[in-house]
Amino acid sequence: MPRKNVKVEASQKSASKEALPKKKLKNPIVLQNPRGMKDILPGDQGYWTQVRRVLESSYQKYGFQRIDIPVLEYANLFSRSIGEDTDIMDKEVYSFKTKGGDEVALRPEFTAGIARSYIQHGMNVLPKPVKLFSIGQAYRYDRPQEGRYREFWQANFDIFGEEDSILDAEVMQLAYRVLGNLKLKDIQFQVNSIGCTDCRKSYLSLLVSYFKSKNKKLCKDCKRRLGTNPLRILDCKEDKCIQVSSGAPQTVDHLCEDCHEHFKSLLEYLDELEIPYSINPSLVRGLDYYSRTVFEIWSLAEGKRLSLGGGGRYDKLIENLGGEPTPSIGFGLGLDRIVMEMKRTNAKQYEAPKPRIFLAQLGKLAKRKSLKLFADLEKNGILVAESFGRGGLKSQLRTANKLGVDITLIVGQKEALDETVIVKNMVSGTQETVAKEKLLPLIKKIMKSKLVVLKYNNK
Ligand code: AMP
C-alpha cells in the first residue's frame, strides 16, 4: 500500500475517535498487582540471581536433581496431605473449579506436589535416596504484611527413601550452607520431634486431657482444634493459647524408643556440625504430614525472629497418598524473606560480567554490517556493548567512555565497504584499521595485554 494512503487512514481514525462521545468504562483496568503479589523488578534481580546461583550449585553438590511441577494440582491432593484442619487448608489455599468442573488449587507449598509426582512417575524404582530440588512460586491467601505475601517464592528440597537421622542432619547442613553462602548471619535452627504415629497416640491423649482442663482459657479456634487437631494448639499464635501451651506435656518427653534414639542422634550430628540450634517443644509445624523431626530456620538478627524456612520428616506421606512406605525428609526456604534479609544486610548481589568492548557505527550500511559483526563476536564468546539506535559517533563514544570499555570498534561507510573495522584502544588512545578476518585474534591479544588489564583493575 502506498505510504500516502496509510497516512490518510490514520488521520481518519483519529478524527472519528474524537467524534465519539466519551464512554465510561465498566471495569476500569487497575494498573496494580493483586493484593499480596509483587513484581520483581530489574533493580532487585542481582539479589535473586545470587540466590538462584547459590541454590543451583548447592543442590548439585548435595546430589539433588531438579524437578519442576505445575503450580496447579487437584485440590484434594493438598487436603489429603497437608490436612483438613490446618490454617493452610482452612483459610489460605487458592482453590477453584475449572470450566471442566475440576476442583483445583494453586500450590501452597511444594512437597505434596513433588510426592504426587514421585508416585505418578514410579520413582520408587530409582536407587534410594531420591533427592529432588524445586524452585518457584507458591500461593497462600493470607493477610499480606511485610515478609508475608500471597504469592511468594520457595526453594524446596525433598529426600525420599531414607529413615536414618543423618539425612535430617544433612538437609539442615545444606540449608545452613545456603544461608552462609548468601552471607546471612544470626541463623538459628529450631528443632523438635513430634514422634511417629505410634508414640503420638498416647501423647495426644495426654495433651487432650491437659487442654480440656484449660479449655476456658483457649481461643475459639483452639477450642475447635481440641476435637479435630489438638497438636495444632501448640502452634497457635494467640497470647492466651501460648500461655496455656507453655505448661502442656511436651512431645520430646513422650517419644517411643526408636523416635527418641532418632532425635538424640540428630542432635549429636548437629553438635558435630556446629550448627546452632535450640530445642523448641512448641514447634509442631502447621501441616499434618510431618512426623518425627520438625525444624524451622530463624534469622535472629536485630533481636527479631524471622522464619526463613522450615521442614521436617514425612515418613507416612507417600504411603498415605497411595504409594509404598517411603520415609522422607525435606524443607522449604522462603526466598522473598531471604532476599529481604540480604537487602537489609547489604549482602553481595550477583553482578553480570561487564562488556569490555563497544561497537560504534556510522551510516546506514555500517549499521547493517555492525549488527552482523555483533553476532559474530557474541558467537565467539565476546561480550560487546552497543547503542545501535544512535547515529552520531560522538554520542556513541561518550557512551563507550561511560561504560569504561577497553576497546571501541568503529564501523563507518568506508569500513563497511572495505570489510574492515577501526579498533580504538581506549587506554592508549591509539587506533588502527584491521581487516575483518583479523579482528578476532587482535581483540583477544589486546584483551590479554597487561596495559588493558591494569587499567581495568584500577577503575
Ligand atoms: P512454611 O512451610 O509455612 O514454614 O514455609 C516455609 C518458608 O516459606 C517460611 O519460613 C517463609 O520463609 C516462607 N513463607 C511461607 N509463607 C510465606 C508467605 N506468605 N510469604 C512469604 N514467605 C512465606
Determine contact, residues 423/400, Cβ cutoff 8 Å: no
According to the model, what pLDDT value does residue 22 have?
Answer: 66
Determine contact, residues 274/187, Cβ cutoff 8 Å: no
Letter string b/e over residues 330-356, b meaning 16 or more CB atoms within 10 A of that residue's CB: bbbbbbbbbbbbbeebebebeeeeebb
Output the tens digit of pLDDT for each of the chain's 459 residues: 334 443 434 334 444 445 566 667 788 888 999 999 999 999 999 999 999 999 999 999 999 999 999 999 999 999 888 887 777 777 889 999 999 999 999 999 999 999 999 999 999 999 999 999 999 999 999 899 989 999 999 999 999 999 999 999 999 999 999 999 999 999 999 999 999 988 988 899 999 999 999 999 999 989 988 888 888 899 888 999 999 999 999 999 999 999 999 999 999 999 999 999 999 988 988 778 899 999 999 999 888 899 999 999 999 999 999 999 999 999 999 999 999 999 999 999 999 989 999 999 999 999 999 999 999 999 988 999 998 887 789 999 999 999 999 999 999 999 999 999 999 988 888 999 999 999 999 988 887 764 444 444 333
Task: Output the CA 31–ligand 1 centroid distance in Å.
Answer: 27
Find, among 431, 304, 299, 424, the residue nearest to 360 by Cα.
424
**Can you read off the three cell numbers belonging to residue 358?**
563497544
Report the SS3 class of residue 179. helix
Q: Ligand 1, closest atom to CA 297?
A: 10
Looking at residue 92, the DSSP 8-state letter turns out to be: I
Residue type, 355: P
Q: For a ligand 1 pocket test, name from 336, 338, 339, 341 the mutation site with the most ligand atoms within 8 angstroms of its C-beta.
A: 336
Q: Calculate the alpha carbon distances from 422 to 101, 436, 439 in Å.
A: 66, 10, 9
Q: Is 107 in the pocket of ligand 1 (CB under 6 A)?
A: no
Q: Which residue's entry shows cell 507416612?
A: 316
Q: Is 142 in the pocket of ligand 1 (CB under 6 A)?
A: yes
How far is the C-alpha of 119 from the C-alpha of 326, rounded, in Å? 10
How far is the C-alpha of 239 from the C-alpha of 169, rounded, in Å? 32
Q: Which residue's entry shows cell 513422650?
A: 254
Residue type, 80: R
According to the model, what pLDDT value does residue 449 have?
Answer: 66
Q: What are phi and psi of 148, to 5 degrees?
A: -130, 110
Q: Is 309 in the pocket of ligand 1 (CB under 6 A)?
A: yes
According to the model, what pLDDT value does residue 456 have?
Answer: 40
* Domain parsing of the chain, residue ranges: 42-196+256-344, 357-447
Burial label, 312 (beta-carbon count in 10 A; 0-12, 13-18, 19+): buried
Determine contact, residues 312/290, Cβ cutoff 8 Å: yes
- Asked if the domains 42-196+256-344 and 357-447 are classified in one and the same CATH topology, the answer is no
Report the CATH number of the 42-196+256-344 domain.
3.30.930.10
How far is the C-alpha of 135 from the C-alpha of 154, rounded, in Å? 6
Q: 285 Cβ partners below 8 Å, 6+ apart?
A: 194, 235, 294, 296, 310, 312
How far is the C-alpha of 280 from the C-alpha of 192, rounded, in Å? 6
The secondary structure element, H or E, covering residue 438 is helix 436-448
Report the SS3 class of residue 190. strand
**Can you read off the three cell numbers belonging to residue 105?**
488449587
Q: Which residue's entry shows cell 538478627?
A: 301
According to the model, what pLDDT value does residue 193 have?
Answer: 96
Residue nearest to atom 14 of ligand 1 (CA): 334
Top-level class of domain 357-447: alpha beta
The per-type count for the chain, helices as H runs and strands as E runs, is 17, 16
Find, among 250, 322, 254, the residue nearest to 280 by Cα.
250
Q: How many CB atoms lie within 10 A of CB 175?
A: 25
Which long-range contacts (C-beta less than 8 Å, at least 24 apart) are formed by 311-315?
311/157, 311/171, 311/175, 312/194, 312/285, 313/168, 314/111, 314/115, 314/289, 314/290, 315/163, 315/196, 315/291
Task: Output the CA 137–ligand 1 centroid distance in Å.
Answer: 11
How far is the C-alpha of 270 from the C-alpha of 342, rounded, in Å? 25
Q: Is 154 in the pocket of ligand 1 (CB under 6 A)?
A: yes
According to the model, what pLDDT value does residue 374 have?
Answer: 95
